Amino acid sequence: MSEASSADLLARISALEEELKAQRHRQDELQAKLAAALRTPFRILDAEGRLVLEVASGHGGVRMRLLDSQGGFLVTMAGIASGGSLAIHNHEAKEVVALAAGTQGGNIGISANEGQLVGWMNVTEGGAHVVTRDREGQVTSRQP
């Protein structure tokens, strides 16, 4: 081998070593990003690319929505300064059950499939408060 070709090979080896070093650095950065905690907002898609889970945050708090394959809400959870809430939706994405933290304690609401509120229980300054309504919206019972 001639001197020029040996020097050329050494230069190529040096360049490859530098390229390998840079690639390892990029790989380390990518692994660090993957190991880090997720940050909002983020979305999770199913195998067909449809949104199935969404987490977002803002001035009002944090919200997480679980969706069906047509994009309808199944479950919505929220966390705000006054407490959390959980809403369960039916197959038509209408809210049928709601749980929430109120100023005096817990609140529970149940609705007909059409989304009309037909019963709720909550805590007031005086204690528990329960109300039921018929499908026309008329109060059928109230305690106290």
Taking the C-alpha atoms of residue 116 and residue 139, their distance in angstroms, rounded to an integer, is: 13
Q: What was the pLDDT predicted at 81?
A: 78
Q: Among 61, 49, 54, which residue's Cα sits nearest to residue 38?
A: 54
The total number of residues written for the chain in this structure = 144
Domain identity same for 3 and 56:
no
Structural domain count of the chain: 2
pTM: 0.69
Domain identity same for 29 and 46:
no
Domain identity same for 16 and 84:
no
Domain identity same for 122 and 85:
yes
Q: What was the pLDDT predicted at 37?
A: 79
Contact of 88 with 110, CB cutoff 8 Å: no
Domain identity same for 30 and 49:
no
Query: 137: domain range?
Result: 42-143
Domain identity same for 136 and 121:
yes
Domain identity same for 46 and 102:
yes
Q: What was the pLDDT predicted at 112?
A: 94
Beta strand segments in the chain, E? 42-45, 51-58, 61-67, 73-80, 83-89, 95-101, 106-111, 117-124, 127-133, 139-143
Taking the C-alpha atoms of residue 139 and residue 121, their distance in angstroms, rounded to an integer, is: 13
Domain identity same for 1 and 61:
no
| One pLDDT digit (tens) per residue for the chain, 144 residues | 455 688 888 899 999 999 999 999 999 998 888 777 788 899 999 999 999 999 999 888 999 999 998 888 899 999 987 789 999 999 888 999 999 998 899 999 999 999 899 999 999 888 999 999 998 889 999 998
Q: What was the pLDDT predicted at 1?
A: 47
Task: Provide the CATH number for the domain around residue 118.
Answer: 3.90.930.1
- As beta bridge partners, residue 139 has 133
Domain identity same for 104 and 130:
yes
Domain identity same for 90 and 19:
no
Give the list of residues 6+ apart from residue 21 with CB closer than 8 angstroms, or none: none
DSSP assigned state of 2: -
Contact of 111 with 97, CB cutoff 8 Å: yes
Q: What was the pLDDT predicted at 105?
A: 92
Domain identity same for 32 and 100:
no
Domain identity same for 25 and 47:
no
- Residue 31 phi/psi, 5-degree rounding, is -65, -35
